[in-house]
Structure 1
């Protein structure tokens, strides 16, 4: 875990204390939380720009990343702790001040930051961002932060969990909401996806895995790069991946040149499974129906190029279609194309596609390791609209593939409504569709075990079992 020397000076919480500049690394982390809260931004996308804006060193950038991401992961616990230390509802605490208090709490309970440094630098941060234009308000906010954080510092993390989390035996989901910092409805959905055979220990293992920052995984695009030229440890399943040993991915020559990229091993397996599936007849046109931002498309394009096949990427959002083009890079041979179009109404003739990927928009609850804010952003009400879209996309995909062609439906979510619910409905409602054994394919081709999905033949990857995002895969064939 990154260490930090502190910065600023110890604060006495005095109303006449002289304002001091906030430590840049902590101010940068606060800016990330502000963007997530006010702009619905994703922390992993905001962080690089914030690091550049504040001209942070590599050491301070690592500190900022852990501080911002860790605070977002553990917000459920930290809000419960702060609620026990504040003499008012947290909803009555100014949002900028509350963000700073969460950052201070993470430093006190989860980072190797001395207590005096965690408190004093957070007080300086509150004085900088939470006082408005009035000096008196700034001093009052700083004094408030100082008093609250001293109460937080009076107990360690385990003691706070014991005090503020409801007992698990009384309400497992409410306990997990605080102790593991997952909303209760998310815990409920994850427990259902694990199945009744999964005891509380496996649920706890999954929630714990969600709170561990993922290692950076790279993929060497076949035909353009070799795995041996990437620095890192070979991935367990993908023959093209490595887990980066350290440093910035952009400093790797193959990444800088677009011959390799950052990509979770689970996402690599989605593209590999589609490419490895048996098709009957021609194998020339591959389509990615929800292509943005282009990671899976790029791996598919590299695999297709070795078979004289062409990849067409379809992406509804114009700016994301641009990201797909950037990810694919130069293509003098014309082996791929990108169109900006709605995946439910793409400019393609039915029955003309050989392989098709539906990487469907979803709740993203399988990627909480890398996008921790998603657990607080999503609501149960989101499921209905997403499921309707997922069904429409899968139905259109099955219309587009020719008899003998295949569709791989994938979500970065294990939620049953988005996985077995969508796929089961398609299979039951169509007489021209059969479900293939993608779990067996992953086992035989790539050594992936213990990945049986909720429907026979489907596959479900898990962070606590496979070290990947919780990707769901279903492989379907269009029959005559």
Structure 2
């Protein structure tokens, strides 16, 4: 075996490769990891280890970077990125897993030998041995003592960017629930359950499944392979967060459906909500059209809709122009708007490190354009559901308030909370303006979905 080719434990190699791809090419860990696990033919135990290493490291990256900087005596921007990835993986094993220190250090040094220079190997060994000399509690005390403010302490300990901590605090403050901030941050770092849905009228919740608390069609499995049950039912049972289910059902159940209604999913990719809406439309005599601008995502929408017997038309149009080309055509429109994704950090932990406040400004501009287009495409008397997988108030409450100001008396905010309470199996703990619903991972065990129902008033 050559000096630069030591054998790396397969699970650690898979985890490293995914983390490196996330950094280098903005890969999505939740999409890439299963592919790499399958390619490496990992057994169940190694697949579990690779998953914990990958997601655990990505979730706590901010905290680990502070530990690494202290142990290395230099800022992380002065560490070669591939070696920094190795150090993050090693730090996760030392501080958050029951891995023997010598094994965590030795495996990390071997990995550093493959991806870095000879000097990097010694550097990796020295940094990780320094980290191993102190307990996790001692490191926490050190990092807390370095914090510049209470919010910076929360950002450090719970591994969130400071701007995200402050944004989440403001979102909770609008509900009078700012005391829940630390609980929310902790929930973002807790691996979520795999939640599924049996599309209404097309599949049934399995007898041995645990029904969701709120969605009438959602459930979790006590064991078994979710992929297997999805394939067995040809997509009529599919993986979908309970919050996403409630968002789609808010539109379909906002009021009684009249035969012949035409619905639009304006930004349908990757297709989960579209599949649920198509099933709901099928059972009530309505027709759904799904739109998705990006061709690759439009293909995902077509695949998702393949589980519904009746064909669903899929457009590949710019959603911001549909209002001009299809004025007042649709009875119901779902606008699941592009957003920062800060509501799904449990599932996509890397998203917290990719977004900046500048992204919020760019996205809110797009959201306003899409809202105006949806409003123009909505029939008088029709219902629009504005949905984001983000609790950031600029993307949620302020976006809706600005739209209502633009549209004036032509729009009527509906009692979204009452609609959701009618849909939900158990009562939802909601706060704030009843025309808008904010779901939370710590309170509802869902992604942080925002839902607002708006009706277009008929001309007098």
TM range (shorter): over 0.9
Counterpart in the other structure of 2:415:
437
Structure 2 equivalent of residue 479 of structure 1:
457
Residue in 2 that maps onto 1:357: 334
Alignment partner of 1:92 is 2:78: yes
| Alpha carbons 2:258, 2:285 under 8 Å: kept | no
1:345 pairs with 2:321: yes
Aligned 1:283-294 pairs, distance under 5 A: 284-294=261-271
Gaps of 5+ in 1: 1-15, 132-136
Counterpart residue number, 2:130: 151
Cα distance, 1:248 vs. partner? 2.5
Tell me which stretches of 4 or more aligned residues in structure 1 moved more than 4 Å: 16-19, 196-201, 253-256, 279-283
Q: Does residue 128 of the first structure (1) align with residue 114 of the second (2)?
A: yes
Query: Is 1:459–2:445 an aligned residue pair?
Result: no
Does residue 1:317 correspond to 2:294, yes or no?
A: yes
Report the Cα offset of residue 444 of structure 1. 2.8
* 1:251 match: secondary structure: helix
Aligned equivalent of 2:192, options 207, 214, 217: 214
Gaps of 5+ in 2: none
SS for the counterpart of 2:94 is helix
- Cα deviation for residue 166 of structure 1 reads 4.4
- Is residue 2:50 matched to residue 1:64? yes
SS in 2 for 1:227: coil
Indicate conservation of the 8 Å contact 1:460/1:470, yes or no.
yes
CA distance in 2, matches of 1:285, 1:397: 14
After superposition, residues 8-19 of structure 1 pair within 5 angstroms as none
SS at the partner of 1:381? helix
TM-score of the aligned structures, taking structure 1 as reference length: 0.91
**Structure with the largest fraction of helix:** 2
CA distance 1:368–1:324, shift in 2 (3 Å): same
**SS of corresponding position for 2:446:** coil
**Corresponding residue pairs, total:** 455
| CA–CA separation in structure 1 for the residues paired with 2:410 and 2:199 | 34
Tell me which moved more, 347-356 or 201-210: 347-356
User: The residue matched to 1:252 in structure 2 has which SS?
Assistant: helix
For the aligned residue pairs, the C-alpha RMSD in angstroms reads 2.1
What is the alpha-carbon distance in structure 1 between the residues aligned to residue 96 and residue 74 of structure 2? Answer: 25
Shift of the alpha carbon at 1:123? 1.1
The aligned counterpart of 2:60 is 74
Query: TM-score, normalization: structure 2?
Result: 0.94
**Alignment pair present for 1:376 and 2:353:** yes
Q: Following TM superposition, by how much is the alpha carbon of 1:441 offset from its aligned partner in structure 2, in angstroms? A: 1.3
CA deviations 1:315-369 (Å, max 9, x no partner) are 00000000000011155533x2101111111385211111110000001001100
Does the Cα contact within 8 Å between 2:214 and 2:428 map onto a contact in 1? Answer: no
In the aligned structure 2, how far is the partner of 1:435 from the partner of 1:71? 42
Name 1:5's counterpart in structure 2.
Answer: none
> Which residue of 270, 275, 285 maps to 1:308?
285
Distance 1:62 1:73 in 2: 16
Q: 202-211 vs 434-443, which deviates more?
A: 434-443
The structural deviation recorded for 1:475 is: 0.1
Q: Report the secondary structure of 1:228's partner residue.
A: coil
Structure 2 matches for 1:143-182, cutoff 5 A? Answer: 143-166=122-145, 171-182=149-160
CA 1:218/1:463 → structure 2, altered by over 3 Å: closer, same or farther? same
